[in-house]
Structure 1
Amino acid sequence: MSAVDLPAVPRVLIAEADPWSRDLLKQVLLNVRCDARLDMCGDGRQAATLLRDKAYDLIVADWELPGIDGLSLLRNVRQQRRSPALPFILLSSRNDSASVREALPLAPTAYLTKPLNMDGLTQRLQDLLLNEGESVYCEVPRLAPGMTLSVFLERRRDACDGAPLWVDVKAAVQDSLGPEGLDLKCLEDRVCMDPQITAVLIAAANSAGHHGTPVQTLSAALHKLQAGQSMNLILGLALKHNVVLGDPGLVAYAERHWQLSQDTADYARRLARMLELDHERCYSAGILHRLGDLALLRCLEDWRQGGGALDDAAIGESLHALGAAYGSALRTRWRLPLELRQLIAAIYSLEGGVYSREALVMNLAAQMARLTEHEGLEALVRSKTARLLKVGLSELMRLRKA
C-alpha cells in the first residue's frame, strides 16, 4: 500500500487467539493510528466471516489460529488477486526455515515471529498506516449529554482496563536488560510492587494459550511467559490511555491505595515466612487486593477528561460505593486463580468456620497495614485471627520492626 493509497481512516482486522496478545496488538496499533476502525477476533472462522463481510486495509493474523489458521487466511486473501495486494502481517511462533519457506510464496507483507519485536512491529504499522511525516491525534471523547457519574462508573465497571501504573515500565525494562538479555529476577524486583503489572502477567500466564498448574505469583508468571512475552506485555501496558493519572486529587487517593497494597503485601510475606507458609502467594494477594479501587480511580480520570466535574467528596463516595465491585469484576474477567481470589477475599473478612493458615495471614496482615503509627498491637494480639495463628505480641512487634 503506497502513500497515495492510504485511506482517510483505515479499517484493520486483528486475528489472534490469545486474549492478552490480542490486546497488546490492539494497543500497539492504536498507538500508531488512534482513529483506526478496528475489528478483533480469536478464531480463524470468525476472521474468515469478517473478511467476507467487510473491506479491510490491513490484516494482522496469527498463524496458529484455531478453526482456520492464519496461513490459510492469507492464502484465501491472495486468491482474490486484489490489486494492489491487501497488506497482511502474519505472526507466528514458528521461526524455522521450513515455515518461512511455506509462507513466503503467499507474499505476506511481513512475517513476524513471537515474541514480537515491538519496535519492528511499530515501524511496520507506521509504514502501512501513515504517510511519511504524518501523525494522527485523537481527542478524548466528551461525555454524553446528561451523563451522571454513577451511571458512567456502572457502565465502565465490567470493561475497565484496570489500575494505573505505579512504576515506570520503560525504565524497569531498560534497567533489567543485560548482555545476556532480559534478567527476569531483576525485572521482578523492579515491578513486583505494581498491582496492574502483577495482575496482567498472572492473568496472561493463565490464559488459554498456557496450560498446566495455575499461576498465582508474579515470579511464576514471568517464567511461564518467558522473557520476550513478559517484556512485551509490560511495555504494552504503557501504551494504554490514562495509564498515568493526571489529576492531583486522584493521584493522592491512588498513592494511599498503592501504599496500603504494599504494606499489606510486605506484612503478609514476612508473616508467612515466619510461619513457613507460601510467602510469594501471600505477597501477590496483598499487592492485588486494592486493584479495583485503583481501576476505579483510572475511570474517574476518564470522567474528568471527558468534561465531568470531580471533587474530593465524589472520589471518596465513588470508592466507597464501587471500589470492591470493580475489584471483583476485574478478578473474575481476568480469570485470576480461585485460590488467589480467596486469599484476597480473606483480607476483607473471614467467612465460614474453617480458614486456611494463608487466609488468616492475609487477614492479620491487612489489619496491621491499616494501623496508624500511633496505634499499638495489643488489640491485634487479642483478635480471633492472631489467636488462631498462635501469633503473640513479640512476633507482631518483630514484623512491624522488620
Structure 2
Amino acid sequence: MNVLILEHHAPTAELLETVVMGLAPGLGVQLCGTIAEAVQAWHRYSPALVISEWSLPDGPGLTLVRRIRTQDKHLPILMISARSDKETVLAAARLGINGFIAKPFDVALLHQRLQPLLKTEAPSGRAVPPSLDRHLAEAAEGTIRLPTDLEQEDVLALMERRQELSPAELARHWRGQATLSARLLDIANSASLGRAGKPIDKLEAAIAAMGVEMALSQAFALSLDISRSLTDPRLAERAGFYLQQAEQVAAIARAMAISLGLEGGAFHTAGLLSRVGELGVIRTLQDFIRQGGTLSEQQIEDSLGRWAADYGNRVKIQWRLPLPLRELIGAVHLLKKNSTDRGPLLMYLAAMTVAGQQQQDEVRRLMRRVGLEPERWQRPPLHP
C-alpha cells in the first residue's frame, strides 16, 4: 500500500513521511515536490492516500486534486496549508477532499486524522483481503484507468485533429515528455528515416521526419503501455503480450487498408484499441494485489476471459469513441454474421492474420472478397 505526499519543503516532507510510516507496517511512501511529479506517481503507484500541500512551485495543490477527482471520487485526500482562511478551506472542500490541516500542524493530531483515512485493518486486527469478483465489478462500474505518463484521451483528441497539426505544434504539446521524445527520436534516427547519416536531435525534426500521423500513432501506443505501473511479473508479461498483439493488428490493418486505397489512420487506431479491455482488467488485478489480495494463474486467466469485453466496452464509452471506430474495434473480436462492410472485414482479417489463422478457407475467401491476395499476408502467429 502506497501513500503519495506532495510537499516541496524538504523538512516538512520528511516529517510527513515519518508520521505516515508510523501508521501501519509495510506502507510505501512516494515523495514528490511538484504537481507534475505527483501526477506521474499517482498513475504509477495507485496510492491509497494522498497528502498535498496547498502551494507548490508549479501551481496550487488543488490542480492535483482536480486531476484525481476526474477519475477517482473516493481516493482519500488530505490538504495541508499555512493558509486556513474560510475561502481556502471552502475551495478545497468543494473538490471533495477528506480533510484539511493548517500549518504548523501538531504531529499527534495529524496522526489521528490520517489513521481512519487509510483503513488498513479490520477491528480484529487482521488485514481483510478484498473480494476479487467484487473488486472487478466495482472497477467496471467506475472509471477504467490505464495509468501511464501520457493521457490516452489527450492523445486521442490530438489524433482527431491530425490533419491540422504541424510538427512544431506537436513538439510544443509534448515538451517535457521524456519517454515519448526518446521513442520518437529513436524511430526518426532509424535506417529508414535517417538523413544522410546526420542524427536527428530535436523533437520537432523527429516528428517532421516520420510525419504527424506516425508520431501520433507512436504516442498512442506508448500511452497504452501500462507495464511501468505493474509490479506483478505475471501481469506485466500479459500486458506486454496484449500490447504487442494490438500493435501488430494495427500495423497489418493499416497496411491492408492502404493497399486497397483506403485511409489507414482509423484502422491503425482501432487496432491499437483492440486490447484496452484486457489492459484494464490487468491494471485492476494489480490494484487488487496492492490491496492485499492474492491471485493464482487460473484466476488471472478467468478474470481476463470474464471481464475483458465489459472493460473494453466501458473504455469505449468513457473515452467517447465514435460509433464507426467502436465497430472497427469490435470486429477484431467478433465479425457480425454476413457482414459486407469492408472496414470491419479488414479488422477481422488483420486479427486473424496476427493469430496465424490466415490459411483457413473462410479467411482466404474473405480476403479475396475485399480484394486482398491471401499469399501476401502470410505471418507467423504471435504467441504469449
TM-score by length of 1: 0.51
Q: Distance in 2 between matches of 1:188 and 1:309?
A: 42
Mapping 1:119-158, distance limit 5 Å: 145=128, 147-158=130-141
Q: Does 1:35 align with 2:44?
A: no
- Cα distance per residue 1:359-397 (max 9 Å; x no partner): 1110100111111xxx662535444x3243133333334
Q: Does 1:299 align with 2:299?
A: no
The Cα of 1:159 is off from its aligned counterpart by 2.7
Q: In structure 1, what is the equivalent of residue 247 of structure 2?
A: 262
Q: In structure 1, what is the equivalent of residue 196 of structure 2?
A: none
Q: In structure 2, what is the equivalent of residue 379 of structure 1?
A: 361
Q: In structure 1, what is the equivalent of residue 308 of structure 2?
A: 323
Q: In structure 2, what is the equivalent of residue 344 of structure 1?
A: 329
Q: Distance in 2 between matches of 1:296 and 1:198?
A: 16
The Cα of 1:196 is off from its aligned counterpart by 6.4
Q: Does 1:393 align with 2:341?
A: no
Q: In structure 2, what is the equivalent of residue 171 of structure 1?
A: 179
Is 2:271–2:329's contact at 8 Å kept on the other side of the alignment? Answer: yes
The Cα of 1:157 is off from its aligned counterpart by 1.4
Q: Distance in 2 between matches of 1:129 and 1:388?
A: 72
The Cα of 1:303 is off from its aligned counterpart by 0.8
Q: Distance in 2 between matches of 1:5 and 1:246?
A: 29
Cα–Cα, structure 1 residues 264 and 346, in superposed 2: closer, same or farther, change >3 Å? same
Q: Distance in 2 between matches of 1:387 and 1:302?
A: 46
1:357 to 328, 332, 342: 342
Q: In structure 2, what is the equivalent of residue 276 of structure 1?
A: 261
Mapping 1:60-99, distance limit 5 Å: none
Question: Percent identical across equivalent pairs?
Answer: 22
Q: In structure 2, what is the equivalent of residue 370 of structure 1?
A: 355
Q: In structure 1, what is the equivalent of residue 31 of structure 2?
A: none
- Cα distance per residue 1:83-111 (max 9 Å; x no partner): 79959x9xxxxxxxxxxxxxxxxxxxxxx
Match for 1:34: what amino acid? V
The Cα of 1:243 is off from its aligned counterpart by 4.8
Q: Does 1:162 align with 2:145?
A: yes
The Cα of 1:260 is off from its aligned counterpart by 1.2
Cα–Cα, structure 1 residues 249 and 35, in superposed 2: closer, same or farther, change >3 Å? same
Q: In structure 1, what is the equivalent of residue 192 of structure 2?
A: none
Q: In structure 2, what is the equivalent of residue 308 of structure 1?
A: 293
The Cα of 1:161 is off from its aligned counterpart by 4.2
Cα–Cα, structure 1 residues 329 and 83, in superposed 2: closer, same or farther, change >3 Å? closer
The Cα of 1:8 is off from its aligned counterpart by 7.7
Secondary structure of the structure 2 residue equivalent to 1:35: strand
Match for 1:333: what amino acid? Q
Is 1:292–1:326's contact at 8 Å kept on the other side of the alignment? Answer: yes
Is 2:335–2:348's contact at 8 Å kept on the other side of the alignment? Answer: yes
Q: In structure 2, what is the equivalent of residue 249 of structure 1?
A: 234
Is 1:165–1:194's contact at 8 Å kept on the other side of the alignment? Answer: no
Cα–Cα, structure 1 residues 30 and 198, in superposed 2: closer, same or farther, change >3 Å? closer
Secondary structure of the structure 1 residue equivalent to 2:295: coil
TM-score by length of 2: 0.54
Is 1:364–1:386's contact at 8 Å kept on the other side of the alignment? Answer: yes
Match for 2:234: what amino acid? G
Q: Distance in 1 between matches of 2:240 and 2:79?
A: 44
Is 1:176–1:182's contact at 8 Å kept on the other side of the alignment? Answer: no
Structure 2: tracts of 5 or more residues without a match: 1-7, 18-34, 54-61, 68-77, 92-101, 106-113, 122-126, 151-176, 186-200
Is 2:254–2:267's contact at 8 Å kept on the other side of the alignment? Answer: yes
Cα–Cα, structure 1 residues 285 and 142, in superposed 2: closer, same or farther, change >3 Å? farther
Match for 1:171: what amino acid? T
Comparing both chains, which one has the higher relative contact order based on Cα–Cα distances under 8 Å and sequence gaps of 6 or more?
A: 1
The Cα of 1:336 is off from its aligned counterpart by 1.5
Cα–Cα, structure 1 residues 387 and 145, in superposed 2: closer, same or farther, change >3 Å? same
Q: Distance in 2 between matches of 1:40 and 1:392?
A: 52
Is 2:246–2:275's contact at 8 Å kept on the other side of the alignment? Answer: yes
Aligned residues: 265
Cα–Cα, structure 1 residues 247 and 8, in superposed 2: closer, same or farther, change >3 Å? closer
Is 1:165–1:196's contact at 8 Å kept on the other side of the alignment? Answer: no
- Cα distance per residue 1:323-367 (max 9 Å; x no partner): 111011011011122221111011122226554312111010011
Secondary structure of the structure 2 residue equivalent to 1:359: helix
- Cα distance per residue 1:286-324 (max 9 Å; x no partner): 011001101110111111111101121111000000011
Match for 2:354: what amino acid? A
Q: Distance in 2 between matches of 1:130 and 1:354?
A: 68
Cα–Cα, structure 1 residues 190 and 276, in superposed 2: closer, same or farther, change >3 Å? closer
Q: Distance in 1 between matches of 2:342 and 2:203?
A: 40
Cα–Cα, structure 1 residues 247 and 190, in superposed 2: closer, same or farther, change >3 Å? farther
Structure 1: tracts of 5 or more residues without a match: 10-22, 42-54, 59-80, 90-127, 132-136, 200-236
